[in-house]
Structure 1
């Protein structure tokens, strides 16, 4: 626990000096040490920052003169974002900061998102933004533990409305830095993806079995940002293995749903050398906001309202064939040991016979395309049973245990238990 957190405050001091100076005072009042990082380009702040714009440009391998010469605000801020991210990461690696808070409109938010992605899970990241929670921010730009707050009343100068927001942000980041616990690594970490516990139930059995083998198990809820978190940690090689059994976000992305975790879903583990066992859980469903009309192209498909936020329809057989082909392409690009389990008996709880999303012809189309689409070099196991069956869990554990025995997956912290 850090008793006197050192908080990096990021913003354009030439245009937002009053706000940033207010934030500096609030960080001090909350018991933190403010450290100013200026990302101005054309002007200079009326205060002397600990890290000025020239240091930011230099961290990007450039200079302010060269950045100004670009003559393009988007290009200029992109270079400054690269410099701010590199400089912030270096400060963190050197133990000089414990968290950061950034302030901005679309430009400042764009930069701050890169800074947040440069820092590992557990380092407090707070962005005060005029576009907080907006769909302008794609999922792949959102760091795993990013915190945002809307900069209400923050267009021009200080006022009581924006001061209420800025003071909350400063108190929040200081408090988070004081209380934050970084993820431990006493045991190798295994990731499991799932869509809740009613739709996909394998984790109920898998989690204790893996824990008995000496692994820490982290389950990700694949409702957009859960898959984003899995991908981000996999990209940082934060897992000993990934059991990616819920690919519904991939289906959502291909169908144009906003419930997406980005175009790189099912890619980062394989690209970063993390062994992965994959299954097609819930790829038959497409999500959309309940409070919006059903998309016209899905008007005649089976519909389920999960709650007032989230509703689902099912995709037809041809769409499922397209999803199967996409899964095959992503598996083929993996540079790490990869296995694929195809549960031909069903891929989510409500596609069983007698359930509202039971569509055997569409499932058969997916199974047929998937059989042909698994690339050479990928270990392929087909079972006749449902994904929520004990047979599926046993198949996954058999592959996992064999890979541990062969040294593909790092051994757990205790002797493996017999299955």
Structure 2
């Protein structure tokens, strides 16, 4: 029987030969094809792999002997990670594979993140790891559509517990390769950041209006991983234009919250030269993990418990001035058209006068500081409205239409 989809299996075949071969057997039993890649350094697999460890090291610009001679497991694994990522991308571009699955502990997972990050959105990418979902995994290293499963009981040798994880993962990656509908790219893509409709409203008006103009609109939930996916796609140049209005993840990162999209949040579109309209929705809040204690320095402030996972705490006027400076430095990295919209009336539904998180002094402090912080390379537009007012969305559409008319953004109707 001819396999309809081929899955690349990546792992250290010297120490996890049985587990990796079992994974391959599960995929083959379901009618899938398998290609194997060995990322071992010291040992050898029980039988040759399709992509040997020597090929992997050479693809990383080095050799297995150099990895061994380094006498450092971290250095050695980074050589293999660079090569594995390059080889996986080559195989995908050549049409040799339809998805990838990587198996490992901390070493294998470190490598797996590089492999998955190298492959474009729409290529099924699965990681079976003993540290899946761990706080060890920084958001900036997670591919936009990475999938993970916890490898329970999988530290050493096969058993019925770990086989349950491996067999599920085998079915998942093969099923994904068969079912996936990759991004079509038949219309220019607009990337927008927001939160739910209870706190931010602009997407409700903007998305259908932009779609009428012939654009596809992807709205990213800016609660850490949504912003990470947004930045990942921006770094690939996937967007024709970005409307990065919910920039609060920058605040979270600056304030040390665990709900972070990484240090490069609010920078990749600008660095890539993608036309960007940026604003400051929810700049006044730091989101904290709801089931953890509120840090002492943030206690005795107005808070909003959104649910059991997330609690929002308002910033002081001085902290808001700090955030304005952080925003300004990130805007300064833009190499393409860049506009910052400052809605002087506020940045979220909870900060309106009479609302539970309203702080008039803090609002004034941010507005003043932000007007000073916007760099000369970014066009500052000060709006006498709230971010949720129609006037905000109407201004966005006016700017966008001007950019289309000027050829800054490709015409979606063309």
Name 2:169's counterpart in structure 1: 169
Residue deviations 1:358-389 (CA, integer Å, cap 9, x gap): 00101111100000011112111101110001
1:160 lines up with 2:160 in the alignment: yes
Does residue 1:187 correspond to 2:187, yes or no?
yes
What is the CA distance between 1:185 and its match in structure 2? 1.2
Give 1:48 shift: 1.2
Q: Give the structure-2-normalised TM-score.
A: 0.99
**Pairing 1:24-103 to 2, within 5 Å after superposition:** 24-103=24-103
Q: What is the aligned partner in structure 1 of residue 315 from structure 2?
A: 315
Tell whether 2:267 aligns with 1:249.
Answer: no
Provide the C-alpha distance between the structure 2 equivalents of 1:101 and 1:273, rounded to a whole number of angstroms: 33
The 8 Å contact of residues 188 and 413 in structure 1, kept in 2 or not, is answered as: no
3-state DSSP of counterpart to 1:20: helix
Query: Could you report, residue by residue, the CA deviation over 1:228-256 in whole angstroms, capped at 9, with x for unpaired residues?
Result: 01000000000000000001101000000
Unaligned regions of 5+ residues in structure 2, if any?
Answer: none
Native 8 Å contact 1:36 1:50 kept in 2: yes
Query: 1:380 aligns to what SS in structure 2?
Result: strand
Deviations 1:245-272 (A, max 9, x none): 0011010000000110000000000111
Q: Is the 8 A contact 2:102 2:127 kept in 1?
A: yes
Counterpart of 1:220?
A: 220
| Matched-pair contact (CA < 8 Å) for 1:339–1:378 | yes
Match of 2:292 in 1: 292
Q: How does 1:320-331 map to 2 (within 5 A)?
A: 320-331=320-331
Q: What are the equivalent positions in structure 2 for 1:217-366 lying under 5 Å apart?
A: 217-366=217-366
Alignment of 1:68-147 (within 5 A): 68-147=68-147
Counting matched residue pairs gives 413
SS of the residue corresponding to residue 280 of structure 1 reads coil
Distance 2:361 2:30 in 1: 61
- Structure 1 residue 413 displacement after superposition: 2.7
CA distance in 1, matches of 2:292, 2:63: 48
SS at match of 2:101: strand
Where in structure 1 do 4 or more consecutive aligned residues deviate above 6 Å?
none
CA RMSD in angstroms comes to: 1.0
Give the Cα–Cα distance (whole angstroms) in 2 for the partners of residues 402 and 341 of structure 1: 15
Q: How far, CA to CA, are the matches of 1:212 and 1:160 in structure 2?
A: 53
- 376-385 vs 239-248, which moves further: 376-385
CA distance in 2, matches of 1:32, 1:61: 32
Cα shift readout 1:200-248 (whole Å, capped 9, x = no counterpart): 1001001111111110011001010000010000000000000000011
CA contact (8 A) 1:195 1:282 kept: no
CA contact (8 A) 1:3 1:178 kept: no
How far apart in 2 are the matches of 1:31 and 1:147? 21
* Residues 190, 215 of structure 2: 8 Å contact kept: yes
Find the aligned partners of 1:293 and 1:371 in 2 and give their Cα distance: 34
**Aligned twin of 2:9:** 9
Deviation, structure 1 residue 394: 1.2
Per-residue Cα deviation, 1:80-132 (whole angstroms, up to 9, x for no partner): 00000000000001111000111000000000000000000000000000110
Are the aligned partners of 2:10 and 2:101 in contact in 1 as well (CA < 8 Å)?
Answer: yes
Tell me the residue number matched to 1:417: none
CA contact 2:3–2:33 (8 Å) conserved in 1: no
Q: 2 CA distance for matches of 1:406 and 1:31?
A: 52
Tell me how far apart the structure 2 counterparts of residues 293 and 94 of structure 1 sit (CA, whole Å): 50
Distance in 2 (CA, whole Å) between partners of 1:128 and 1:185 is 30
CA distance in 2, matches of 1:41, 1:355: 60
2: distance between equivalents of 1:45 and 1:282?
Answer: 53
Secondary structure at 1:9's aligned position in 2? Answer: strand
Q: How does the TM-score come out when normalised to structure 1?
A: 0.97
Q: Is the 8 A contact 1:332 1:375 kept in 2?
A: yes
State the shift of 1:3 in Å. Answer: 7.1
Q: CA deviation at 1:301?
A: 1.0
2:378 is the counterpart of 1:378: yes
C-alpha spacing 1:254/1:52, structure 2 compared with 1 (3 Å): same
